[in-house]
Amino acid sequence: QVQLQESGPGLVKPSKTLSLTCTVSGGSISPYYWSWIRQPPGKGLEWIGNFYYSETTNYNPSLKSRVTISVDMSKNQFSLKLTSVTAADTAVYYCARHEYRITISGVVTPLGMDVWGQGTTVTVSS
Amino acid sequence: EIVLTQSPATLSLSPGDRATLSCGASQSVTNSHLAWYQQKPGLAPRLLIYDASTRATGIPDRFSGSGSGTDFTLTISRLEPEDFAVYYCQQYGNSLPYTFGQGTKVEIK
């Protein structure tokens, strides 16, 4: 059974870089799509971005200039870096796996997110 | 960006009642690539439905999804005590970014 675990500092100073890692256990990173999502306190969910292997990476345009998602296949981990953080970046950060479908032409299409980490709270404060 | 608007914001019902939650999209969602999630306090969201109407693995059949284009519905046929939670719709079609609705809270009346 696949499990995801987010890890990283719980407190980041304003203007610094937020760095989180998601460790995948009980399964492989391929051939899935993987996403980062965040949820500010008392608010809804915001998709940050996703990747497929190391071929494709997509970012939310609202964060694109500050976000980098990378993968380390050898460690079965992927990471999120968010630069120049402010208090508005305070949130619970989740990593998640997408279900997928393979089309007739052999393209892997991501579907809903069926496996989630428990989430990690990141507070931006001096 | 596709904006998803969920209604109502809060639904007050009793166990055994039928719950009908709506999700409207500002543009047509490609291939009905719409999912529904349930979230309880302090926990990660749980996938209920994908592709608008396909139940995820292990989801009870009292949960059903329907709709296409810009109008989607999640129905819970008979509410169980564990169903009281917040529900989010999310589109994952060809139009990036993926977006979520603002959520509908189903509370005990």
Find the residue in A nearest to B47 (Cα). A114
Give A 46-75 residues with CB within 8 A of chain B.
46-47, 50, 58-62
User: What is the torsional sign of CA B65, B85, B44, B3?
Assistant: positive
* Confidence bin at A109 (pLDDT 50/70/90): confident
Query: What's the mean pLDDT in A2-14?
Result: 97
Query: What's the mean pLDDT in B3-21?
Result: 97
For all residues of chain B together, what is the average pLDDT? 96
CB-CB under 8 Å, A118 with B44 = yes
Query: What's the mean pLDDT in A84-113?
Result: 93
A9's tokens: 């500092």
Find the residue in B nearest to A5 (Cα). B44
User: What is the pLDDT at residue A54?
Assistant: 58
CB-CB under 8 Å, A112 with B49 = yes
Query: B28-60: per-residue pLDDT in tens?
Result: 999 999 999 999 999 999 999 999 999 999 999
CB-CB under 8 Å, B46 with A47 = no
B95's tokens: 């139009």
Phi, psi for B40 (deg, rounded to 5): -105, 155
Q: Which long-range contacts (CB under 8 A, 24 or more apart) does A7-12 make?
A: A7/A120, A8/A93, A8/A120, A8/A122, A9/A122, A10/A120, A10/A121, A10/A122, A10/A123, A11/A122, A11/A123, A11/A124, A11/A125, A12/A85, A12/A89, A12/A122, A12/A123, A12/A124
The residues facing B13 across adjacent strands are B108
Task: Return the HEC string of A22-90.
Answer: EEEECCCCCCCEEEEEEECCCCCCEEEEEEECCCEEEECCCCCCCEEEEEEHHHCEEEEEECCCCHHHC
Question: In angstroms, rounded to a whole number, what is the distance separating the alpha carbons of residues B51 and A110?
Answer: 11
Residues shown for chain B? 109
- Residues of chain A contacting B46 with CB distance shorter than 8 Å: 116
Query: A24-71: per-residue pLDDT in tens?
Result: 999 999 889 999 999 999 999 999 999 987 578 999 999 989 999 999
Closest to B96 (Cβ–Cβ): which among A44, A58, A94? Answer: A58
Question: In angstroms, rounded to a whole number, what is the distance separating the alpha carbons of residues A79 and A76?
Answer: 10
Q: How far is B27 from chain A (nearest CA, A)?
A: 18
Q: Is the pLDDT of residue B6 over 90?
A: yes
User: How far is CA A69 from its chain centroid?
Assistant: 7
Q: Give the CA distances from residue A108 to residues A22, A124, B47, B63, B86, in Å, rounded to whole numbers and listed in that order.
A: 22, 36, 19, 27, 30
Find the residue in A nearest to B98 (Cα). A47
User: What is the pLDDT at residue A55?
Assistant: 75
